[in-house]
Amino acid sequence: MLKDNEVGSPVMEKPAQAEVHEVTVTPLGTCRIAEPLNIASKHCEMQRNMTRVYGYVHTTKEILQLIEFMEGQNLPDEMVPLIASERYEADTVRTPSDVYFVEISSIKEIHYKNFLLQLNCVNRVFEDHKDIQEIFFKHRRVKEIPERRQLLEQIPAFHTLSSLLKSIMLEGYVHFTKQEEVAADMQRIASRLGNNVVFVSHINVPGDNGELIASRNRLCGWIRAECQTHGYNYFDPTPLVTSHGLKNALAKQGEDNKHYATDFKDVLGTYLYENYVVPLTTPGAARPIMTAAMAQASGTAQPAPAASTTPESGQAPSAMSTPVVNPEDMRIDAILADARAMVKRGEADEAEAMLRGASIDHPANAEVFAQLGTIAYHRGDSISGLASLRHALDLNPKLVEPKILLVRIAQRLNRLEEACSLALELVTEAPDEPKALTAAAKAFVKSRRFQEAAAIWKRLAVLQPAQSMPLTEAARAELKGRNFEAAIQDADGALQRDSGDVSALVIKAMALQRLKRMKQLAEVAVQIAAIDPGAAMGTVPTLVDAGHLEDAADVLARIRLKGHPAADDAVLQAGLVR
């Protein structure tokens, strides 16, 4: 099958093949939208695209900030713990999704300089300083900063914080989004992401006192009104929740009005796929703005869709209809999702016990055994891991993750020939899977088959055209294989992508040293000195020994300007004087 960016005669000869495309969706919001779509993606014809999505967001401005970083801007390292609730990988390449689900669930914005902080992340970072955090939120507004500063200065623990955390507590503030801001932000979000955006509101159900939560109800109304005004696609989960009953749909048997019950997540995810993803990605289908049933349930009735928008096969499904889902499929998908969540929380033993039980009830489910093998691998139990992973592949030979782990286990057991054989299979079966290619390349490096490793790294470089790492690793493999010219060529390729890649510069310097090209080595050393003066020190003795004293002195002077103490080494100074 040709990719979207490829051209060739097969497209003209077999148009049906060119049209094969698994729909991609990206949830921007909380677990209330991310988890249902994740579970449903296991059995629906859609794939989640979470590249550069660094975690959960709640407010419109948090969503706009996330879009900025999704589209290429990198999140500064020091800000990651305060903004990213999930794993964050910089410099990865993202392709647009077919559908975006954008959940807006809060108006409480935490501002710090040019950033919007994530409330849950702030709570985690300041977990050991509850008193400091309490003062911040009690005096959260801009006008209260002077008073907050006085109170914080009186707490001894405040002075032990890093300069960044102290600055956040002193300069940050909380702002509550106004209706006009929500409207303007939603328009910007729709403009940035395109027509296939579905705005999602919170679950507008009663609180502990039996009445609707005022702030939540108000925000839901704002979102609904904006979607009606501009014709945006809109999903209000409340009618679907109430139709299933709060005890069945919400966590803790209906007592938790912020989270969904495990079984209901698959119902919701499947509903979103059938009623939003399919219509939005099927040519000629009616767009799911707000169905009459939804509008009526939320108190904002609007005219029913015209007859021409009804599918030929019969009447359009009601927004209140329940998707038909195999209960057993729902159950095992929920178990697998819970097991992953347990492992993420550090509860691997509990996850393993649950999966062992699931393996008895679902002996033909490959994912169960794949997860058991993954847990064993990370625990260091290679023998048990091998058994589970091989059984998973017997059940489903198309799984990639178990094959990656088999390569790693073979390396761990020092079965290098077996690791390389498995790596070759992996590259053949998953030629476009970065994680698989990375595992295979590392296996060949460990086996000292550097030429094959370099070829795989270069394949990865084609798949990740914005990243310098694959070409840097290719250069490293060529250097170890004593193919110095190729090492220089690959390092230059990496530097074209990222001129500040120190590893690529150092590898290039080492290759030039082996080729005795001292003048070029000196030029590269100057570049290294500007970025990593410590790494540049290694080139100075080489230049001195080769008689390039002026070049050595120049590099040393640049290192000294960076304040590196090794530049004042007496032996080096004496060598240069002589």
3-state secondary structure of 474: helix
In this predicted structure, what is the pLDDT of residue 566? 54
Q: Convert the pLDDT of each residue in 262-295 to its tens digit.
A: 999 999 999 999 999 999 988 766 666 543 334 4
User: What percentage of the chain carries pLDDT values higher than 70?
Assistant: 85
Q: For residues 362-371, give the mean pLDDT.
A: 90
Q: Are 450 and 480 in contact (CB under 8 A)?
A: yes
Tell me which residue of 477, 481, 540, 523 sits closest to 503, measured CA to CA.
477
Q: Per-residue pLDDT for 228 more than 70?
A: yes
pLDDT of residue 336: 85
Superfamily of domain 22-49+95-107+178-309: SGNH hydrolase (3.40.50.1110)
- Give the residue among 190, 202, 172, 168 at the shortest CA–CA distance from 63: 190
Kindly state the average pLDDT of the residues 70-81: 88
pLDDT of residue 261: 93
Is the pLDDT at 430 greater than 80, yes or no?
A: yes
Give the C-alpha separation, 391 to 382, whole Å. Answer: 14
Cα–Cα distance, 549 to 531 (Å, whole number): 22
**Burial degree of 577 (CB within 10 A; 0-12, 13-18, 19+):** exposed
445-496 pLDDT tens trace? 998 999 888 998 998 888 888 888 999 999 999 999 998 988 998 889 988 8
What does the pLDDT read at residue 570? 52
Least confident stretch, 43-52, 67-76, 550-559: 550-559
pLDDT tens-place string over residues 91-127: 778 889 999 999 999 999 999 999 999 999 999 999 9
DSSP structure class, residue 38: H
Mean pLDDT value of segment 373-379: 87
Instruction: Tell me the C-alpha distance between 373 and 356, whole Å.
Output: 11
**Angle at the Cα of 561 (from 559 to 562), degrees rounded to 5?**
65
Beta strands in 208-310 (DSSP E): 233-235, 250-251, 256-260
Beta bridge partners of 251: 256
Q: Residue 543 pLDDT more than 60?
A: yes
**Does the pLDDT at position 297 exceed 70?**
no
Residue 147, pLDDT > 80, answer yes
Q: For residues 132 and 319, which has the higher predicted lDDT (pLDDT)?
A: 132
Residues 6+ apart with CB under 8 A from 194: 96, 100
Phi, psi of 81 (to 5 degrees): -65, -20
The label of the residue with tokens 């159950």 reads: 331
Query: CA 160 to CA 538: how far, in whole Å?
Result: 37
Task: Please give the helix or strand (H or E) that residue 197 lies within, else none.
Answer: strand 197-200
53 pLDDT higher than 70: yes
22-52 residue pLDDT tens: 899 999 999 999 999 999 999 999 999 999 8
Domain ranges of the chain: 22-49+95-107+178-309, 516-578
Enclosing H/E stretch for 437: helix 434-446
| Consecutive H or E run containing 463 | helix 450-463
State in Å, rounded, how far the first CA of the chain is from the last one. 67
- Closest by CA to 203, choosing from 272, 263, 267, 249, is 249
Kindly tell me if the per-residue pLDDT of 19 is higher than 50. no
> Among 158, 110, 162, which residue's Cα sits nearest to residue 130?
158
Place of tokens 């790693």: 408
Q: Are 198 and 260 in contact (CB under 8 A)?
A: no
